[in-house]
Amino acid sequence: MPSPSGVASRPPCALALSDGEVDFLWWFIQGSIMDADVRARLYAHWGMCARHALGFLCVEAAFRPHLIHGSTILYNELMRRALHLLNGHGLYGLAPAGVARHRLRPSGPCHMCSLGYGPESPGNAPPERLAQGRDLANARAFARENGDGWLPYVCGRCSGNGSDVLCRTHLIESMEHEGAPALRHQAATVSAIAEHLARFEHAFRWDSRGTDSAQDRGALVASIGWCSGWSEILQTLDLN
């Protein structure tokens, strides 16, 4: 896929998950993501760190290319939460920009990082599972085929492409200097991503299958980029 217009060239740096990370994420997509305590941690951190947020998508796509449902459910919830904050709801009469900036910050660590998973983590998964979990082909195909749903939302500061669109982290930085104007300017981006991702999640229902578009599917990548930043995504998925 061609890089977003104006993105500075960078050497390929594909995500290389450790044995432990693949093993953990394989079990994660089997259902542990639905555990209430786990969901609370994911909610507190706005998903996971950039590495593990992308790893979650890639492993789920590797094993379930036509049912990337766990990531979709999580990030649909997070984007609805972001939209709620940026629209000024639930702020109890306090200064919207200051409260939103505070609530956009993570209130807990990345779930996987807190458990000690990283680039060198050992694991006991069978070699076949490890190989499949590290295979990026499905995730790259998903990103390539649904680029209309995420390319317009790549953060200009993460990518260096000159766009005024910001991810969550760079929005927080911008709000520290600009306050409410930065918040209002980015609300439309969050609203668009949230709307399309909601349609993608809805399309997993049996009676709504086939109703999603490339923009809806691509919103999953956009939401991960908005929550966790774009550098890992661009280096791993945005390759020719």
The confidence score (pLDDT) of residue 176 equals 78
Is 136 exposed, middle or buried, given 0-12, 13-18 or 19+ CB atoms closer than 10 A? buried
Amino acid 96: pLDDT:
60
With both helix axes pointing from N to C terminus, report the angle between 50-63 and 19-29 in degrees, rounded to the nearest 10: 60
| pLDDT value for 34 | 75
Q: What's the confidence (pLDDT) of residue 9?
A: 41
pTM: 0.88
What are the backbone dihedrals phi and psi of residue 29, each rounded to the nearest 5 degrees, phi first?
-75, -10
Burial of 25 (0-12, 13-18, 19+ CB in 10 A): buried
pLDDT along the chain (240 residues), means of 10: 40 78 93 82 94 96 93 95 78 56 89 94 93 95 95 94 93 79 80 96 88 94 97 80
For residue 229, what pLDDT is reported?
Answer: 96
